[in-house]
Amino acid sequence: MFRLSVLGPLASREQLSRGELKKIIQELAAQTYQIPNSHRVHLAEKTRERWYYRWKQAGIEGLAGGQLQKFVLDADTDLLEI
């Protein structure tokens, strides 16, 4: 999955120290990618940040598809799609 491969350095970490997320996202933003079905080669920092938080909340399922999926946590911390 392309989105998870872009998040690689972030997804492989259990914890990030203060300011580390921003630093890694900025470093990743400087890289070029072969983006599937696109002529673009760069991804915005905000895109990576959004993907990161979706991955943290919902795992791979949160990164699936081009349509933004919204998830909430119920009282038992199970994910519910809304």
Give the residue extent of every domain in the chain.
Answer: 2-81
Nearest to 21 by CA among 30, 31, 11: 11
- How many CB atoms neighbour CB 10 within 10 A? 20
**In the chain, what percentage of residues exceed pLDDT 90?**
11
What confidence category does residue 74 fall into, taking pLDDT thresholds of 50, 70 and 90?
A: very low
- Of 44-48, 49-53, 61-65, the poorest mean pLDDT is in 61-65
Task: Cite the DSSP H helix spans in the chain.
Answer: 2-11, 20-29, 45-58, 60-63
pTM above 0.85, yes or no: no
Q: Using CA atoms, how far apart are residues 20 and 22, in angstroms rounded to an integer?
A: 5
What confidence category does residue 39 fall into, taking pLDDT thresholds of 50, 70 and 90?
A: confident
15-27 confidence digits (pLDDT tens): 888 899 999 999 9
The SS3 assignment for 69 reads coil
- How many CB atoms neighbour CB 54 within 10 A? 21
